[in-house]
Amino acid sequence: MITLHWVYALAGAIFAAFALLGARDRATPRRWTNAAFWALLALSMWAGDRLGDVGNGLLVLGLIGLGALGGLGRGDGAVPPETRQARADRFGNRLFVIALIIPATALIGTVLFKQAPDWFDGKQATLIALALGVLIAMTVGCLWLRAGAQVPLQQGRRLMDCIGWAAILPQMLASLGAVFALAGVGDAVGGIVSQVIPDGSLLGAVIAYGLGMALFTIVMGNAFAAFPVMTAAIGVPLLIRTWHGDPAVICAIGMLAGFCGTLMTPMAANFNLVPAALLELKDQHGVIKRQVGTALPLLLVNILLIYWLAFP
């Protein structure tokens, strides 16, 4: 049976390739730091469940140390501009077909894989299909553009080196959210919120949940970190148990409310600060400023959708 372990193995192989290619690239500053960083990440994908708590803790400290001691270097391995222009002139918008293969495979695979429980883990069908989509898209791209197998890996390494340590920020923050939930932060927040919400007010509870997801995401930088805390504080005890709301709607749209917070915080460095750096914008917070006008109306809509759809 194909399970999530296959996806982790694939991700580990890609990061290992980044480490090897980075170590061989003499033009990249701090190439050994880059190689060590991606090698540790590959190790976590391959053997994280065998290293134990102490081993994984040391691995994370190693990643933090490598990221903190000067960060990662950036190489100049981009495809030559003339090559990119030639391909753009030849293929035009058809190039987007390669990118669209990934979501299409994820959508189709999610439906089909759940119908074959003997072959695929139905609970992880979406992630398995997503990984398969990446492989198919990469293969189609190499064959169509007549590029070598190393080209997508080299370009992936170059982009990851540009993003640097911020590439693993979502995983770090999601882990922190789980730690907060286990530490009882959700219960503490729930106790505070219950004193603010008017007794018997469903709308007040929904607003508190939606705003809480956005605000906690702004503080933490990631909706995955906010989700376990706010769901334990408000989602489960009030919206689901007390008001008998639809858990799927509450959780799904609650995450969307958290993503609105992602659009408005510098803590989400890989989403907001890294694009500004890559685009060489004069205003480091220029991306956030442009997104606030979209994030606030979306947050209001998400809160209303929870109220309308979760409590028929």
* 226-284: pLDDT as tens digits: 898 899 889 999 999 999 999 999 999 999 999 999 999 988 877 887 777 777 788 88
Tell me whether residue 110 is exposed, middle or buried, using C-beta atoms within 10 angstroms of its C-beta: 0 to 12, 13 to 18, 19 or more: middle
pLDDT bin (cut points 50, 70, 90) of residue 77 is low
Which residues, in sequence order, are bridge partners of residue 2?
A: 120
**Is a pLDDT exceeding 80 seen at residue 69?**
no
User: Which of the 8 DSSP states describes residue 76?
Assistant: -
Q: How many CA within 13 A on the CB side of residue 251? A: 11
User: Which of the 8 DSSP states describes residue 123?
Assistant: G
**Is a pLDDT exceeding 90 seen at residue 184?**
no
Helix 247-262 and helix 223-230, axial crossing angle in degrees, nearest 10? 140
Rounded to whole angstroms, how far apart are CA atoms 270 and 289?
Answer: 16
Region 28-52: mean pLDDT is 91
Write out pLDDT tens, residues 218-233: 988 888 888 988 998 8
Range from 101-105, 109-113, 255-259, 302-306 carrying the lowest mean pLDDT: 109-113
Rounded to whole angstroms, how far apart are CA atoms 307 and 202?
Answer: 8
Please report, for residues 107, 210, 293, the alpha-carbon distance to residue 266 in angstroms, rounded to integers and kept in the order given.
Answer: 31, 20, 16
Contact 163, 275 (CB under 8 A): no
Nearest to 167 by CA among 37, 9, 70: 37
pLDDT bin (cut points 50, 70, 90) of residue 302 is very high
Between residues 145 and 296, the one the model is more confident about:
296
Residue 43 has a pLDDT of 95
Q: How many CA within 13 A on the CB side of residue 58? A: 5
The pair of three-digit structure tokens given for residue 279, joined into one six-digit string: 């685009």
Rounded to whole angstroms, how far apart are CA atoms 301 and 210?
Answer: 10
The H-or-E segment that residue 255 falls in is helix 247-262
Region 73-92: mean pLDDT is 78
Nearest to 29 by CA among 63, 75, 67: 75
Rounded to whole angstroms, how far apart are CA atoms 166 and 173?
Answer: 11
**Is a pLDDT exceeding 70 seen at residue 159?**
yes
Contact 57, 190 (CB under 8 A): no
User: Which of the 8 DSSP states describes residue 80?
Assistant: P
- What does pTM read for this prediction? 0.74
Tell me whether residue 202 is exposed, middle or buried, using C-beta atoms within 10 angstroms of its C-beta: 0 to 12, 13 to 18, 19 or more: middle
Most confident of 62-71, 87-96, 207-216: 207-216
Range from 48-57, 98-107, 273-282 carrying the lowest mean pLDDT: 273-282
Between residues 40 and 171, the one the model is more confident about:
40
**Is a pLDDT exceeding 70 seen at residue 135?**
yes
